[in-house]
Chains A and B, each alone.
Chain A
Amino acid sequence: MIQNLIYSKTQHQNLVLSVLSLGLLLLAVFSLTVGAYPISFPNAVAVLLNQVGLVLGTFTVQESNVLLQIRFPRILLAMLVGGGLGVSGAALQGLFRNPLVEPGLIGVSSGGALFAVIFIVFGASFPWLTNLFGNFSLPLFAFIGGLINVMLVYEMANYGGKTDISLLILAGVALTALSSALIGLAIFYADEAALRNFTFWSLGDVGGANWDKVKIAILLILAPSFWIMFQYRNLNALSLGENEAFHMGVDVQRVKYIVLFMSALVVGVGVSMTGTIGFVGLIVPHLIRLSFGADHRLVLPGAFLLGACLLNASDLLARTIVMPAELPIGIITAIIGSPFFIWLIINVKKIRT
């Protein structure tokens, strides 16, 4: 009977993940057809099939260009960044053993943004950096910034294997404030060209997507996200406490470093490409937990898929509400996210069983 039960639980989890994947796929296809330049569904499919060598139906060159050069990479980037925010939010919540943790709230995003700005403003003075890392320089810089902040927050808020929530929030506030101040300082010293670059970046959102960015995102967001997902057993054990996880055979220090490092990478790279997008990493893991339980085997990949859906849907709204202009995507996620966060604060005692 128990065998049956475990079997059906795994099956149930796989079913949920399949449904989420299917939803994401449908949303992506739908997003391809909607926008300032509408493309009919059969034509969109025809363009995509043409890319893999299948000739089916007709389409114009313009349709093909809009779809392949603008819309498709944009949708992929929104998915990757959203998924990365979702899974890193879920993993950080698991590691800190706290449901209020969010990459934006604890300073990971602002650290990433600070280092991205430092690179944009002062990067030109260090040409060897760009020569060495090419397109990866900006994302790598943002990653370092995110990593510094997440390590600092962890050290400040952690004692005796437990995370103190008030210290955590305060540390996040302090680091975010410091990062914003330093961003201001960097901009103060920026020259004309750097200032223009910075403006483009800060307004960037997913509208600035291109295939180069998508390739980097696949390497530096998707791959680490998978690595995080494979930590599900360890994160399950950690939800009982660090000592208990150690008793059960978890190398706690190693898991800690993997999760902090990979989350900083995922969030930092995302920030370097789209600017700071808040609340995805907070809402998404909760929706999954509330609906399907707390087992990280489901929560981690589920948060990735739902995060991808949420950011894609937000982007769809952002670029259609005031068509042909676009709203920054962060506005949409904040409008959805802030009320949810308030609800969460009010109900946190019930959730923290």
Chain B
Amino acid sequence: MLEAKNIHFCIKNKPIVDQVNIQLNPGELTVLLGPNGAGKSTLFRLLSGELLCKHGAVKYNGLPISSLKPKELAHLRAVMPQHSTMTFPFKAIEVVELGLSLSNKKYPPNTVEEVMKATHTWHLKDQLFGDLSGGEKQRVQLARVLAQIWEINSFPRYLLLDEPTSSMDIAQQHHILQIMGQLKNRNIGILAILHDLNLAANYADNAVLLKNGSILKQGAIRDVMTPENLEKVFDYPIQVETEGPTAPIYISSLPSTKIRSQNYNFKFA
């Protein structure tokens, strides 16, 4: 279990993450939702070990994160940041191989091929990473991150994704979230920051709503993603429709002029 207890992080005495408790179970996909500036990325970086919190503790399978060496941590979790740039002319396949080269010397020889085929990037393998489109780069990065934890292992591991699908087309977005579903069977717990509420509602098991550095609500997806909670967290009316506990969830929001136009009359001087 990946566990954060009472974590607190300040920048210039302003709390960015305030007394957050969060639990990530292996075999579950949890989404982290919230408006811009809610502290999602800071929380994400605290969980990945990139930042260390002054108060509270982050524990991986019961081990405090500060006691783990970078290499040990890399065996337990893989992280995909929002943007990664490559300085030198590496090929796509070389970028994916990076995910394997450090954590483990011996790995099944077809790992790279498997992850690249799973992310639909195998045909790009000999192209330079810098020449790829935004969505393609994102898929290659995801392949690299997956390679790090692809090998089946007995202990639970975690995958942290910061807006993994932000540059992808709709078909690729669904494809990537389906891969996440398969990863859950490998005893991997996944935490993803997502902006697309429909993707979040229909693929995730749990949701965490974050606002102003604190958790507004967390729990099973259908308990958390109600119109009331979503409106509270995003300060905007959001409709949630579903026909039953197993039926798909439709989340929509309408232009403000059509729902309460009187509140949003700009005066163009």
Interface of A toward B, CB cutoff 8 Å: 1-3, 5-6, 94, 97-99, 233-234, 236-237, 239-241, 243-244, 246-252, 289, 293-295, 351-353
Q: Are A241 and B71 in contact (CB under 8 A)?
A: no
Top 10 nearest A-B pairs by Cβ distance?
A353-B130, A249-B74, A294-B88, A247-B79, A3-B109, A249-B71, A97-B87, A2-B113, A249-B102, A248-B102
Interface size on B, residues (CB 8 A): 40
Q: How far is the CA of A347 from the CA of B48 in the complex (A)?
A: 37
CB distance from A9 to the nearest CB of B (A): 9
Asked if B70 is at the interface of the complex by the 8 Å CB criterion, the answer is yes
* Chain-A contact segment, one of B54-62, B90-98, B173-181: B90-98
Q: Are B50 and A243 in contact (CB under 8 A)?
A: yes
Q: Are A240 and B98 in contact (CB under 8 A)?
A: yes
Q: Are A246 and B70 in contact (CB under 8 A)?
A: yes
> Can you offer 6 A-B residue contacts whose CB atoms are under 8 A?
A236-B94, A240-B85, A241-B81, A250-B70, A293-B94, A295-B90
CB distance from B11 to the nearest CB of A (A): 12
Q: How far is the CA of A3 from the CA of B97 in the complex (A)?
A: 12
Give the residue name and chain of the A residue nearest to B90 (CB): A294
Q: Are B89 and A351 in contact (CB under 8 A)?
A: yes
Q: Mark B5-49, 1 if CB is under 8 A from A, else 0.
A: 000000000000000000000000000000000000000000011
Give the residue name and chain of the A residue nearest to B94 (CB): A295
Q: How far is the CA of A240 from the CA of B220 in the complex (A)?
A: 35
CB distance from A58 to the nearest CB of B (A): 52
CB distance from A216 to the nearest CB of B (A): 33
CB distance from A241 to the nearest CB of B (A): 6
CB distance from B203 to the nearest CB of A (A): 23
Chain A residues with CB under 8 A of B145: 247
Chain B residues with CB under 8 A of A94: 88
Interface of B toward A, CB cutoff 8 Å: 48-50, 69-75, 78-79, 81, 84-91, 93-95, 97-99, 101-103, 109-110, 112-113, 128-131, 145, 148
Q: Are A352 and B87 in contact (CB under 8 A)?
A: yes
Across chains A and B, the number of contacting residue pairs, with CB separation under 8 Å, is 96
Chain A residues with CB under 8 A of B84: 240-241, 244
Chain A residues with CB under 8 A of B81: 241, 243-244, 247
Q: Are B87 and A99 in contact (CB under 8 A)?
A: yes
Q: How far is the CA of A236 from the CA of B98 in the complex (A)?
A: 7
Chain B residues with CB under 8 A of A249: 70-75, 102-103
Q: Are A237 and B113 in contact (CB under 8 A)?
A: no
Q: How far is the CA of A263 from the CA of B50 in the complex (A)?
A: 27
Chain B residues with CB under 8 A of A352: 87, 130
Give the residue name and chain of the A residue nearest to B91 (CB): A293
CB distance from B99 to the nearest CB of A (A): 6
Give the residue name and chain of the B residue nearest to A241 (CB): B84
CB distance from B16 to the nearest CB of A (A): 15
Chain B residues with CB under 8 A of A240: 84-86, 95, 98
Q: Are B99 and A248 in contact (CB under 8 A)?
A: yes
Q: How far is the CA of A251 from the CA of B68 in the complex (A)?
A: 11
Q: Are A236 and B101 in contact (CB under 8 A)?
A: yes
Q: Are B86 and A237 in contact (CB under 8 A)?
A: no
Q: Are B98 and A248 in contact (CB under 8 A)?
A: yes
Give the residue name and chain of the A residue nearest to B80 (CB): A247
Q: How far is the CA of A250 from the CA of B101 in the complex (A)?
A: 11
Q: How far is the CA of A3 from the CA of B110 in the complex (A)?
A: 7
Q: Are B71 and A2 in contact (CB under 8 A)?
A: no
Q: How far is the CA of A237 from the CA of B72 in the complex (A)?
A: 16
Q: Are A237 and B89 in contact (CB under 8 A)?
A: no
Chain A residues with CB under 8 A of B109: 2-3, 6
CB-contact partner of A246 in B50, B99, B113, B128, under 8 A: B50
Chain A residues with CB under 8 A of B71: 249, 251
Q: Are B88 and A239 in contact (CB under 8 A)?
A: yes
Give the residue name and chain of the B residue nearest to A243 (CB): B50
Q: How far is the CA of A293 from the CA of B97 in the complex (A)?
A: 14
Q: Are B87 and A239 in contact (CB under 8 A)?
A: yes
Chain A residues with CB under 8 A of B69: 251
Give the residue name and chain of the B residue nearest to A94 (CB): B88
Chain B residues with CB under 8 A of A234: 102
Q: How far is the CA of A232 from the CA of B127 in the complex (A)?
A: 22
Give the residue name and chain of the A residue nearest to B51 (CB): A243
CB-contact partner of B128 in A3, A233, A239, A353, under 8 A: A353
Q: Are B88 and A237 in contact (CB under 8 A)?
A: no
Give the residue name and chain of the A residue nearest to B97 (CB): A6
Give the residue name and chain of the B residue nearest to A353 (CB): B130
Q: How far is the CA of A351 from the CA of B88 in the complex (A)?
A: 7
The verdict on A247 contacting B112 (CB below 8 Å), with A240-B95, A352-B87 known, is: no
CB distance from B20 to the nearest CB of A (A): 21
Q: How far is the CA of A248 from the CA of B89 in the complex (A)?
A: 20
Give the residue name and chain of the B residue nearest to A4 (CB): B109
Give the residue name and chain of the B residue nearest to A98 (CB): B87
Q: How far is the CA of A239 from the CA of B101 in the complex (A)?
A: 14
Q: Are A293 and B113 in contact (CB under 8 A)?
A: no
Chain B residues with CB under 8 A of A237: 98, 101-102
Q: How far is the CA of A48 from the CA of B16 in the complex (A)?
A: 70
Chain B residues with CB under 8 A of A246: 49-50, 70
Chain A residues with CB under 8 A of B98: 236-237, 240, 248
The verdict on A353 contacting B86 (CB below 8 Å), with A2-B112, A246-B50, A251-B69 known, is: yes
Q: Are A289 and B88 in contact (CB under 8 A)?
A: yes
Give the residue name and chain of the A residue nearest to B48 (CB): A247
CB distance from B89 to the nearest CB of A (A): 5
CB-contact partner of A239 in B90, B103, B112, under 8 A: B90
CB distance from B106 to the nearest CB of A (A): 12
CB distance from B22 to the nearest CB of A (A): 19
Q: How far is the CA of A166 from the CA of B93 in the complex (A)?
A: 32
Give the residue name and chain of the A residue nearest to B109 (CB): A3
